[in-house]
């Protein structure tokens, strides 16, 4: 610890020296524009709804290889439940299904439970990330009870040809490949994006508790080998300055490979790998009615299919040659079977109208249809659900120092009827200070998975039979927040205190084993080993998360900046325990009271063509609490990233190299399987990356925003 402190101090002092030496140039502040909270553009400091931003610059200097690494390392509000099958995000105590992930304002599609696969986002194609906590936005649905993450991708508006290649390589055969091809020909603009991610996976421990004892040669991995790739295309045609149409589509495939050499049938032997296929297609248009008013319409289709890829002969539920249900339908090595196919269509028409100087109205309608096909995992094989919404939001500025933003979203769901959810935010401005307070209601109907799905879930030595529940009630939430912010030229500090109260929160709870329908699966009951645990989606009586977030940045000089985030969280939840016949207080899994991160960042142009960047960062968490399988140990990790930019004004080509060390002090959580880890980081890893950009043409499209600040989202 002492050594870490010394190193951090040393880095700080050295940074100060460098700053004093080179800080001759005028300090300039780049203003950041955000859109997520209200759906309209605002300077970050004037955003009516408290918005956290991870800027392009921060992303570049941090050098994260995945969304998990970026969000986990650059905000204190996120944590990831990192298992051998992938990671589950948690935002201020609430899990994946309560977090709405948008890519350029469009809902990412994933599992029906809302568990989005973050590998669908190319980490090397992100311009910036905006985060709005709580169900504060009327525009994106009220089901974002934990918050909204809006990933804004890099855009290419230059006339001519743009080519980009980034290749990054690290320990454990970690490969991140990104290619972008941009073409602008007259009014037609095309952007093609390719990404590939691969990691061999790693094993932090060979210890596992199984068969009533600890074994020392488990082959289970802490993180499994995985490969995913994605090809995306977007075509935009601008009829004139005011009207454009677009069409885009993408294909994403992901494979997770599990060890094939297991020692123990009870815990580390697998007979199938996992595969996911995602597809999307959208068309839409944007029409600027005049200088201030806008109409847009979009139709999106998404598909998420989930397969087992068999690696050994496997008997599973299916139909015998006579069409009768059997628990023993065989699959052979190399074959695959569809577990679920989830499709979604969203149609959206939205308008933004400046009613007067003081009033800006956003309104729209949205229709959403979810379809689930799961031959062996739902009773009838398929299920569907629709929701229609109408929303209104008014940004009202009665005085220069006051902004009131009110919103209302009316939802009509096919299964659960009507519900209105109001939202109100107030912002007071005093010079560089902003004070915000907000209240918003959330409403989330049970997903098709929570209603109808049933499946056997094998996790190491534990086998669960998870069941949907058609008696579920919708979840509702009330989110209250109060925040204060100072945003000066050099120094910014913001703090937010929040309370999120959820009623009828839906979660999987243990139920008596006889709730599993007889013959629903072969493993419903044991005669002495491998007992299956029955779990059903149920409404908890209530749950609440409360906490405070603090963000500080200080720009010591043009070249040197420091910053940090801290998040305090407490959760309370009650559920009715059927076997105990009483309400009991339970922990929300994965909750940690304290999370923090910090960084020192130094950038300096050393010659006219070479610019060096050095970023030292740290992140940590206190103990993470779980209901079963132990708590996750506290941890603190350090990371050093360096960037090397080579470019010359007026040249078509620019180059960038990146090299770094993650987990400098080689901290490894070696907690044995199947107990929870605080972090699944593999220990010290090294990486290098190289980017080449070819940009032929001139910038033809600087964008103006309402408050007259000019910016370009292309660098």
Partner 1 sequence: MKIKSLTAAVLASLALAMGFSSCSDDEEEASVTNNYSIYQKAVDNQVILGKKNNKAILLVAFGSTWQNAFKAFDNTVEAYKKQFPDCDVYMSFSSAICINRAAAGEHANDSGDDKAERRNYYAPNFWLHAFGSAKYEEITVQSLQVIPGEEYSRVINYIKDFANNSLGDLDDKYLSKVSLKLGTPLLNNTDDVDNVAKIINKLYSSEAKKAAVAFMGHGNPDSYDTYKANIRYTQLEEALQKYSKNYFVGTVDMPDNYKQDVYARMKSAGLESGKVILYPLMSIAGDHAHNDMAGEGDEYWDESDEESEDNSWNEYFSHKGYTTKCNIKGLLEIEDIRKVWIEHTKNPVELEDYYHSMYPED
Closer to partner 1 by CB, 326 or 495: give it.
326
Q: Are strands 582-586 and 336-354 parallel, antiparallel or unpaired?
A: unpaired
Of residues 257, 308, 331, 602, which one binds partner 1 by CB under 8 A? 331
Of residues 21, 29, 313, 703, which one binds partner 1 by CB under 8 A? 313
Contact map string, positions 456 to 485, toward partner 1, x by CB under 8 A = x-x--x-x----------------------
> Residue 167's beta-bridge partner residues?
177, 690
Closer to partner 1 by CB, 127 or 531: give it.
531
Of residues 17, 325, 332, 433, which one binds partner 1 by CB under 8 A? 332
Of residues 42, 157, 219, 344, which one binds partner 1 by CB under 8 A? 219
Contact present, 639 and 600 (Cβ < 8 Å):
no
Of residues 17, 328, 401, 686, which one binds partner 1 by CB under 8 A? 328
Reported residue count of the chain is: 715
Kindly identify the residues of this chain, within the stretch 588-647, that bind partner 1 according to CB under 8 A.
Answer: none
Asked if 242 interacts with partner 1 (CB under 8 A), we say: no
Q: How far is the CB of 677 from partner 1 (least distance, A)?
A: 17
Asked if 529 interacts with partner 1 (CB under 8 A), we say: yes
Q: How far is the CB of 154 from partner 1 (least distance, A)?
A: 20
Asked if 216 interacts with partner 1 (CB under 8 A), we say: no
Using CB under 8 A, which of the segments 63-71, 242-250, 381-389, 703-711 binds partner 1? 242-250
Using CB under 8 A, which of the segments 5-13, 76-84, 510-518, 661-669 binds partner 1? 510-518
Closer to partner 1 by CB, 281 or 692: give it.
281
User: Which pairs with CB-CB distance under 8 Å and at least 24 residues apart come from 408-411?
Assistant: 408/138, 409/138, 409/141, 409/142, 411/142, 411/387, 411/443, 411/445
Query: Residue with structure tokens 């650059």?
Result: 74
Closer to partner 1 by CB, 258 or 639: give it.
258
Phi first, then psi: give them for residue 699, nearest 5 degrees: -70, 120
Of residues 207, 327, 587, 647, which one binds partner 1 by CB under 8 A? 327
Number of residues counted as binding partner 1 (CB under 8 A): 74
Closer to partner 1 by CB, 162 or 306: give it.
306
Contact present, 360 and 352 (Cβ < 8 Å):
yes
Residues 6+ apart with CB under 8 A from 41: 33, 34, 35, 705, 706
**Rounded CA separation 409/135 (Å):** 11
Q: Are strands 685-696 and 160-170 parallel, antiparallel or unpaired?
A: antiparallel
Of residues 518, 649, 698, 710, which one binds partner 1 by CB under 8 A? 518
Phi first, then psi: give them for residue 251, nearest 5 degrees: -135, 130
Asked if 261 interacts with partner 1 (CB under 8 A), we say: yes
Q: How far is the CB of 121 from partner 1 (least distance, A)?
A: 18
**Rounded CA separation 358/294 (Å):** 17
Asked if 281 interacts with partner 1 (CB under 8 A), we say: yes
Nearest to 86 by CA among 274, 313, 344, 212: 274
Please report the sign of the dihedral spanned by the C-alpha atoms of residue 104, residue 110, residue 112, residue 114. negative
Query: 697: left (phi > 0), else alpha (psi -120 to 50), else beta?
Result: left
Query: Residue with structure tokens 């269509």?
Result: 345
Asked if 315 interacts with partner 1 (CB under 8 A), we say: yes
Asked if 265 interacts with partner 1 (CB under 8 A), we say: yes
**Rounded CA separation 6/19 (Å):** 20
Measure CA 432 to chain center: 31
Kindly identify the residues of this chain, within the stretch 289-308, that bind partner 1 according to CB under 8 A.
Answer: 303, 305, 307
Of residues 2, 24, 212, 607, which one binds partner 1 by CB under 8 A? 212
**Rounded CA separation 317/315 (Å):** 7
Q: How far is the CB of 580 from partner 1 (least distance, A)?
A: 5
Query: 24: left (phi > 0), else alpha (psi -120 to 50), else beta?
Result: alpha
Nearest to 108 by CA among 54, 67, 78, 138: 67
The helix (run of H) or strand (run of E) holding residue 144 is none
Using CB under 8 A, which of the segments 79-87, 92-100, 193-201, 336-344 binds partner 1? 336-344
Q: How far is the CB of 245 from partner 1 (least distance, A)?
A: 7
Asked if 3 interacts with partner 1 (CB under 8 A), we say: no
Locate 682 and state its tokens. 């593999």
Of residues 10, 13, 85, 188, which one binds partner 1 by CB under 8 A? 188
Asked if 579 interacts with partner 1 (CB under 8 A), we say: yes
Closer to partner 1 by CB, 239 or 401: give it.
239
Closer to partner 1 by CB, 202 or 270: give it.
270
């Amino acid at each position: 610890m002492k050594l870490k402190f010394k190193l951090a101090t040393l880095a700080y002092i050295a940074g100060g020296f460098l700053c004093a030496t080179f800080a001759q140039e005028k300090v300039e502040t780049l203003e950041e524009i955000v859109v997520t909270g209200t759906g309209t553009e605002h300077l970050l400091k004037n955003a009516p709804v408290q918005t956290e931003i991870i800027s392009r610059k921060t992303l570049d200097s941090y050098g994260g290889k995945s969304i998990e690494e970026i969000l986990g390392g650059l905000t204190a509000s996120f944590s990831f439940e990192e298992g051998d099958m992938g990671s589950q995000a948690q935002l201020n105590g609430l899990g994946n299904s309560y977090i709405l992930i948008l890519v350029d304002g469009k809902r990412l599609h994933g599992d029906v439970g809302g568990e989005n696969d973050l590998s669908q986002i190319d980490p090397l194609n992100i311009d910036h990330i905006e985060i709005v906590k709580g169900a504060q936005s009327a525009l994106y649905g009220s089901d974002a009870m934990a918050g909204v993450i809006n990933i804004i991708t890099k855009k290419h508006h230059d006339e001519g040809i743009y080519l980009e290649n980034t290749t990054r390589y690290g320990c454990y055969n970690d490969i991140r490949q990104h290619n972008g091809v941009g073409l602008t020909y007259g009014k037609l603009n095309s952007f093609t994006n390719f990404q590939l991610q691969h990691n061999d996976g790693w094993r932090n421990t060979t210890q596992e508790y199984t068969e009533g004892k600890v074994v020392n040669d488990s082959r289970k991995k802490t993180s499994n080998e995985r490969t995913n790739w994605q090809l995306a295309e977007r075509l935009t045609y601008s009829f004139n300055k005011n009207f454009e149409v677009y069409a885009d589509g993408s294909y994403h495939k992901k494979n997770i490979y599990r060890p094939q050499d297991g020692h123990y049938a009870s815990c580390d032997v697998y007979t199938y790998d996992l595969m996911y296929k995602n597809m999307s297609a959208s068309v839409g248009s944007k029409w600027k009615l005049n200088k201030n008013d806008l109409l847009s319409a979009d139709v999106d289709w998404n598909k998420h299919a989930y397969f087992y890829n068999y690696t050994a002969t496997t008997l599973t539920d299916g139909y015998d040659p006579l069409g009768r249900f059997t628990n023993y339908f065989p699959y052979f090595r190399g074959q695959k079977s569809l577990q679920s196919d989830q499709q979604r269509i969203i149609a959206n028409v939205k308008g933004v109208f400046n009613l007067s100087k003081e009033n800006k109205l956003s309104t729209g309608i949205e229709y959403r249809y979810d379809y689930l096909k799961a031959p062996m995992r739902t009773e009838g094989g398929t299920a569907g659900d629709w929701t229609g919404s109408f929303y209104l939001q008014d940004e009202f500025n009665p005085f220069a120092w006051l902004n009131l933003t009110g919103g209302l979203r009316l939802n009509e769901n096919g299964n659960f009827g009507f519900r209105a959810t109001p939202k109100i935010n107030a912002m007071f401005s005093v010079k560089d200070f902003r004070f915000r307070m907000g209240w918003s209601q959330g409403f989330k109907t049970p997903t098709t998975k929570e209603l109808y799905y049933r499946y056997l879930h094998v996790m190491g030595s534990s086998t669960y039979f998870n069941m949907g529940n058609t008696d579920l009630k919708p979840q509702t939430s009330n989110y209250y927040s109060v925040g204060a912010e100072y945003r000066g030229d050099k120094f910014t500090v913001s703090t937010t205190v929040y309370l999120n109260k959820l009623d009828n929160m839906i979660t999987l709870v243990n139920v008596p084993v006889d709730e599993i329908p007889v013959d629903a699966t072969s493993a419903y009951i044991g005669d002495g080993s491998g007992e299956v645990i029955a779990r059903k989606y149920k409404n908890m009586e209530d749950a609440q998360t409360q906490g405070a977030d603090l963000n500080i940045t200080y720009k010591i000089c043009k070249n040197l900046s420091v910053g940090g985030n801290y998040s305090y969280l407490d959760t309370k939840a009650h559920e009715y325990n059927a076997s105990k016949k009483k309400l009991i207080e339970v922990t929300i899994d994965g909750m940690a009271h304290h999370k923090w991160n910090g960084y020192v960042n130094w950038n300096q142009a050393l010659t006219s063509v070479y610019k060096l960047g050095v970023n030292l960062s740290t992140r940590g968490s206190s103990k993470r609490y779980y209901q079963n399988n132990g708590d996750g140990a506290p941890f603190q990790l350090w990371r050093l990233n360096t960037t090397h930019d080579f470019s010359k004004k007026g040249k078509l080509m620019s180059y960038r190299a990146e090299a770094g060390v993650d987990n400098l002090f080689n901290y490894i959580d070696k907690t044995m399987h199947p107990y929870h880890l605080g972090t699944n980081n593999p220990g010290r890893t090294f990486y290098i990356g190289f980017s080449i950009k070819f940009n032929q043409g001139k910038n033809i499209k600087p964008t103006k925003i309402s408050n007259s600040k000019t910016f370009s989202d292309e660098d």
